[in-house]
């Protein structure tokens, strides 16, 4: 069970990272196409009109994937920002209670959000909504990805809630920080 859950979080975060790689590659292709066309123009040739169609929209959708699929992995790596002054100042029993509270509130909110994101996706599906660009993309796909990301996030929060309530340490406090700049601005 532990192993399956961890692989779920890892797979989700890895997919998020892939979204970033795809965004970067598409944008670089677009710029190279423009530079190539510019060069053709210099030599008096017709520009080929090389471009990635609907790039702005596709990149926006991929960004949604990158942001939401990484939620669980970011939580478990202790990278979501919180004010921890009080947590560090109070005795550990109170700290545990505050952690239970924070995780429970977040888990409730994330599930609520996932539920409504799911309905948003369902509505887009039933009204057949698409993006406005050259390539019309059904909005249901990126919205389902957003919902899935929120679901994985909710699962990971529930996982942590069980972990603390059974006397364990929450994942985000057990992290050994090896990258001094991650999760900071």
Partner 1 sequence: MDLSLIALFLGLGMLVALAMGIWVAVALLGVALAAMIALVSVPAGPVMATTIWGAANSWDLTALPMFIWMGEILFRSRLSEDMFAGLSPWMRNLPGRLLHVNILGCGIFAAVSGSSAATTATIGRMSLPELKQRGYDERIAIGTLAGSGTLGLLIPPSIILIVYGAATEQSIARLFMAGVLPGAMLCVLFMGYVAFWSLLNRSKMPPREDAIPFLERLKATRRLFPVIGLIVGVIGSIYAGLASPTEAAAIGVTLSLLLSWGSGTLTRKSFVDALMGATRTSCMIAFILAGAAFLTVAMGYTGIPRELASWIGAMNLSPYALLIALTLFFVVLGCFLDGISVVVLTTSVILPMVEQAGLDLIWFGIYLVLVVEMSQITPPVGFNLFVLQGMTGRNIFSVARMALPFFLLMILAVVLIVAFPGLALWLPQSMLSN
Which residues of the chain form contacts with partner 1 (CB under 8 A)?
Answer: 13, 16-17, 20-21, 23-24, 27-28, 30-31, 56-57, 59-64, 66-68, 70-71, 73-74, 77, 79-87, 98-99, 101-102, 105-106, 109, 112-113, 115-117, 119-120, 142-143, 146, 177, 179-185
Using an 8 Å Cβ cutoff, are 113 and 49 in contact?
no
Helix (H, G, I), strand (E, B) or coil at 130: strand
Least distance (Å) from partner 1 to the CB of residue 4?
A: 21
Tokens 């926006």 correspond to: 60
Give the total residue count for the chain: 185
Q: Report, in Å, the least distance between residue 76 CB and partner 1.
A: 10
Query: What are the respective helix, strand and coil percentages of the chain, to the nearest 5?
Result: 70, 0, 30
- CB of 161 vs partner 1, minimal distance in Å: 14
Which residues, in sequence order, are bridge partners of residue 130? 138
- In the complex with partner 1, the residue whose CB is nearer, 32 or 48, is 32
CB of 141 to partner 1, least distance (A): 12
Residue among 48, 9, 54, 46 nearest 27 (CA):
54
Q: Which is nearer to partner 1, 1 or 122 (CB)?
A: 122
């Amino acid at each position: 069970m532990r192993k399956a859950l961890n692989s779920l979080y890892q797979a989700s975060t890895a997919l998020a990272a892939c979204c970033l790689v795809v965004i970067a590659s598409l944008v670089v292709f677009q710029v190279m196409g423009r530079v190539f066309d510019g060069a053709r123009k210099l030599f008096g040739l017709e520009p080929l009109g090389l471009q990635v169609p609907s790039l702005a929209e596709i990149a926006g959708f991929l960004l949604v994937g990158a942001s939401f699929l990484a939620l669980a992995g970011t939580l478990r790596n202790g990278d979501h920002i919180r004010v921890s002054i009080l947590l560090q100042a109070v005795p550990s029993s109170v700290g545990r209670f505050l952690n239970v509270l924070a995780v429970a509130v977040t888990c409730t909110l994330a599930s609520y959000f996932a539920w409504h994101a799911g309905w948003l996706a369902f509505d887009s599906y039933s009204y057949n909504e698409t993006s406005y660009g050259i390539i019309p993309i059904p909005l249901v796909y990126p919205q389902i990805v957003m919902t899935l990301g929120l679901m994985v996030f909710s699962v990971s929060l529930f996982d942590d809630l069980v972990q603390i309530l059974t006397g364990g340490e929450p994942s985000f406090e057990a992290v050994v920080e090896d990258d001094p700049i991650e999760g900071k601005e």
